[in-house]
Amino acid sequence: MQKIYSSAEDALEGLLFDGMTIAAGGFGLCGIPERLIDAIQASGVKDLTIASNNAGIDNEGLGKLLRTKQVSKMISSYVGENKEFERQFLAGELEVEFTPQGTLAERLRAGGAGIPGFYTKTGVGTQVAEGKEVKSFDGEDYILERGIRADVSVVKGWKADESGNLVFRKTARNFNQPAATSGKVCVAEVEEIVPVGSLDPDSIHLPSIYVKRMILGAPYDKKIEFRTVRQREAA
């Protein structure tokens, strides 16, 4: 079975439809599947529900899909740094399901692990708990949160072997791993594809079973939201 596709458009062929749910990896602009987001934008698919920690910034990452109004609902924990998002939300054009970051990560993980719901302390006594079942365990209250099973997940990896085993790099792993497992089909873009046997089996972050299709997305021009540095002390 050939998992490697020649372009992001080809890799998404037949997977996209209006009203679908997409889980996307990335944290801020770190580790975002930018080639696949561009291809989703170009496809014109609309009325999307997107589960992603952030919504990109104004014209980067998922911000691109907001700009073209292809998104009807975001499931996110933090959407700052995005004026167009704010405008659409305040104008009632965009629905947002604010989900605590850890709850979102676990909802994706659980959905991908065949767990339809789980109880968590996070959000008890807050707006997040509204309309959710509350259950007491050992004298403490927990709320029921649902797993997320996405139609498609789009993720960014560092290296893949030809069979689809994936390795992430540093903090670019973030939501890519749980998002990958949450999708009925996961499409990955990576910086490098290496022959089978070149990755240490003990060091695989995402086993190949989750990756159904992939593309080589390089070369990347990775964006930094806040460049913070220190100065070398004079010798």
Binding of other proteins at residue 72 (CB under 8 A)? no
Binding part of the chain for other proteins, among 33-41, 59-67, 174-182, 210-218 by CB under 8 A, reads 174-182
- Tell me the closest approach of the beta carbon of residue 102 to other proteins, in angstroms: 3
Nearer to other proteins, 28 or 183 (CB): 28
Judged by CB under 8 A, which of 127, 200, 234, 235 binds other proteins? 127
Nearer to other proteins, 12 or 181 (CB): 181
Classify residue 34 by burial, with Cβ atoms within 10 Å: 0-12, 13-18, 19+: buried
- Tell me the closest approach of the beta carbon of residue 45 to other proteins, in angstroms: 25
Pairing status of strand 71-76 against strand 95-98: parallel
Binding of other proteins at residue 43 (CB under 8 A)? no
Pairing status of strand 140-146 against strand 134-137: antiparallel
Binding of other proteins at residue 119 (CB under 8 A)? no
Judged by CB under 8 A, which of 31, 33, 147, 217 binds other proteins? 31
Distance, CA of 102 to CA of 169 (rounded, Å): 21
Binding of other proteins at residue 121 (CB under 8 A)? yes
Q: Which candidate, 228, 206, 195, 189, places its Cα nearest to that of 35? A: 189
Binding of other proteins at residue 170 (CB under 8 A)? yes
Amino acid at 174: N
Binding of other proteins at residue 63 (CB under 8 A)? no
Distance, CA of 144 to CA of 44 (rounded, Å): 35
Residue showing tokens 């649902």: 146
Pairing status of strand 150-161 against strand 183-194: parallel
Nearer to other proteins, 5 or 98 (CB): 98
Binding of other proteins at residue 6 (CB under 8 A)? no
Distance, CA of 235 to CA of 229 (rounded, Å): 18
Distance, CA of 216 to CA of 234 (rounded, Å): 42
Binding of other proteins at residue 22 (CB under 8 A)? no
The secondary structure of residue 41, as a DSSP letter, is H
Binding of other proteins at residue 80 (CB under 8 A)? yes
Nearer to other proteins, 1 or 229 (CB): 229
Binding of other proteins at residue 175 (CB under 8 A)? yes
Structure tokens of 200?
């240490």
Residue ranges in contact with other proteins by CB under 8 A = 27-31, 53, 76-80, 86, 89-90, 96, 98, 100-106, 108-109, 120-128, 158, 168-178, 205, 222-232
